Amino acid sequence: MAGPSAPAVIAKGLKHLDLDGHDLPPSPAPSSPSNGRKYALATELVYTDSGDQYNSSSVPIYQSATFKGGPGQEYDYTRSGNPTRTHLERHMAKIMNANRALVVSSGMGACDVITRTLKPGDEVVTGDDLYGGTNRLLTYLKENGGIIVKHVDTTKVDLVKQALSSKTTMVLLETPTNPLIKMVDIAGISAAAHEASPDCCVAVDNTMMSPYLQNPLDLGADVTYESGTKYLSGHHDLMAGVIGINNAALGDKFYFMINSTGCGLAPFDSWLLLRGVKTLAVRMEKQQESAMRIAHFLEERGFKVRYPGLKSHPQYALHNSQARGAGAVLSFETGSINLSERIVESTKLFGISVSFGCVNSLISMPCRMSHASIDPALRKERALPEDIIRLCVGIEDLQDLMDDLSQALVRAGAVRLTSDGFMALEVGDGETGKTTMVVDEP
C-alpha cells in the first residue's frame, strides 16, 4: 500500500491524466425561452422586479406575522401568505415552467404536503431507491395512514405498469435517484400512470437536477417538487421545499395544506432562497463540469462509478433525452466498507456531510448517513451497497479537488503509486464480496 507521503507525485500524475483531453459533458442548453418566459433561463434566474415602492434592487423582507386592515386585504397573517414568500413563489413558478409554485419549510415538508392529499386505501407506486427521508415518510403512511405503498424498480416502465391499479392515486418518482443515481423515464411513466387512471398524480422529486437541468412538468408529470435546501439555495444556509404545479385544483389543495399546517417558508428564508437561486446557472455549470472530470478519473481507475454523464451509465441516453446536464452528484463503490470509511475520513476539501447542491464539495457514506433510516435488511434487499460513497462536487478549483481526492485514496490505501507517478488500485479486500477494483498499469 502506498503511504500518505506522496501527494506531490499524485498531483503530477493527475494533471497529466485528467485535466487534459477529456470530453466535457454536453453543455446544458436551457437557453431558449419556454412557457411564457421572456429570456433564457440563466437570465430569468436573476431577473426579478422587486415591485418595491422605493425601487429597491433586492426584494424587501416582510418580517411581520400580521398585516393590519381587516377583511378583504391581500395579506392578514404570514402563515396564510406573506409578500416576500409570494415574490419567491412567482419567481419559482417561472423557473420551474409551472403555473403555480408554493414554497415550504423543507423538501420533506413539500413531500408531506403532497402526500397529505392521499386517503386511506389509496395506493402509491414509488421507487426502490429513494432518499431515506422520503422512504421514512412513505413507511409511516403505510403503517399508520392506511396507504398502500408499492416499491418497484422505476427504471423499468413495464414494472411500474404492472404495479399500477385503479387504486393508484399517486406515482412518486426520483430521477436521478439518491444515492444510486438511477434514472426514471418521466414521460413514459407519466403516460402509463395517466392511462391507468386519469386522476393519478405523478409527482417527481427533482432535487438532484434542479429546474436548471430538468423540468418534469414539461415531460407530463403533475407535480414537480424539490428540496430547496440543495441546488436552489446553493449555500447550505437554509432549509426549503418548493412545489410546482400546472393544475389549479391541485395547487389549491396544496395551498390548503400549507395554510392548515403552517409549513409555509418564513420571510427571511424566502429572501435567502431568492438570493441563492440567482446564481443557480453559474454554480450548476461549474459543479457539473468538475463532477464530470472526477467521475472519469474514478472510473478510469476501476471504481464502479454512478454518474448520469458517463457513457457507461445504462441510462445515459434516457437521461440526455429528458435533462440538460448531468448534475454534480456521483457515487462510487470501493469493494470494502472499511476502505470507504478510510477514504471518507481522509479528504480535507470534501467535507463529511449529508446533503448536496452546496458550493462546497461534500463526501458521505449514504448507508451511515442520509439513508441510515432505512432498515439494514431492507437496504440489502434493495441492493444498496453498504460501501457506497457519495460525492457532491462544489465550485472549488478542480485541481485542488482532484489532489484532495487523490491524497485521500492514497492515505486510505485504495490506490498505489507507480514509479512515474501514475495511480493504480489495489484490489479490494473482498469484505463486501465485490471485486470492483482493477489494477491499472501505467
Ligand X SMILES: N[C@@H](CCSC[C@H](N)C(=O)O)C(=O)O
Ligand Y SMILES: Cc1ncc(COP(=O)(O)O)c(C=O)c1O
Query: Residues 85, 112, 122, 131: which is the catalytic one?
Result: 131
- Which span sits near ligand Y by CB under 6 A: 26-34, 104-112, 314-322, 424-432? 104-112
205: partner contacted, choices ligand Y, ligand X, none (Cβ within 5-8 A by kind): ligand Y
The CA–CA distances, whole Å, from 193 to 137, 220, 371 equal 22, 10, 28
Residue 297 binds ligand Y (CB under 6 A): no
Report the candidate in 38, 42, 16 with the shortest Cα–Cα distance to residue 28. Answer: 42
Residue 231 binds ligand X (CB under 6 A): no
- Residues 198, 233 contacting (CB under 8 angstroms): no
Query: Residues 112, 122, 205, 403: which is the catalytic one?
Result: 205
Residue 207 binds ligand Y (CB under 6 A): yes
* Residue 129 annotated in active site: no
Mention every residue, 6+ apart, whose C-beta is less than 8 A from residue 72.
none
Find the shortest distance in angstroms from Cβ 205 to ligand Y. Answer: 5
- Residues 290, 401 contacting (CB under 8 angstroms): yes
331: partner contacted, choices ligand X, ligand Y, none (Cβ within 5-8 A by kind): none
Find the shortest distance in angstroms from Cβ 131 to ligand X. Answer: 5
* Residue 131 annotated in active site: yes
Residue 354 binds ligand X (CB under 6 A): yes
Angle at 301 between CA 437 and CA 332, to 5 degrees: 65
The CA–CA distances, whole Å, from 310 to 174, 205, 319, 420 equal 19, 22, 11, 28
Mark 367-406 with x for binding to ligand X (rule: CB under 6 A) and - for no binding: ---x--x---------------------------------
* Residue 68 annotated in active site: no
Query: Residues 15, 79, 90, 275: which is the catalytic one?
Result: 79
Q: Amino acid identity of 227?
A: S
Residue 422 binds ligand Y (CB under 6 A): no
Residue 282 binds ligand X (CB under 6 A): no
Residue 361 binds ligand X (CB under 6 A): no
Sheet with 241-245: strands ordered across = 100-104, 241-245, 223-227, 201-205, 168-174, 123-127, 148-152
Mention every residue, 6+ apart, whose C-beta is less than 8 A from residue 35.
97, 218
Residue 239 binds ligand Y (CB under 6 A): yes
Find the binder of ligand Y among 127, 241, 267, 413 (CB under 6 A): 241
Find the shortest distance in angstroms from Cβ 133 to ligand Y. Answer: 5
The interface with ligand Y within residues 134-193 (CB under 6 A) comprises 134, 174, 178
Q: Which is nearer to ligand X, 107 or 267 (CB)?
A: 107
Which three cell numbers, joined as nine digits, stand for 379? 437496504
Q: Which is nearer to ligand X, 48 or 177 (CB)?
A: 177
Residue 107 binds ligand Y (CB under 6 A): yes
Which residue is listed with cell 409555509? Answer: 264
- Residues 140, 132 contacting (CB under 8 angstroms): no
* Residue 205 annotated in active site: yes
Q: Amino acid identity of 432?
A: T
Q: What is the number of alpha carbons within 13 Å of residue 23 lying toward its C-beta? A: 6
360: partner contacted, choices ligand X, ligand Y, none (Cβ within 5-8 A by kind): none
Sheet with 329-333: strands ordered across = 304-306, 329-333, 389-392, 362-364, 351-352
Residue ranges in contact with ligand X by CB under 6 A: 131, 133, 178, 354-355, 370, 373
User: Which amino acids are annotated catalytic?
Assistant: 79, 131, 205, 230
Residue ranges in contact with ligand Y by CB under 6 A: 106-108, 131, 133-134, 174, 178, 205, 207, 227, 229, 239, 241
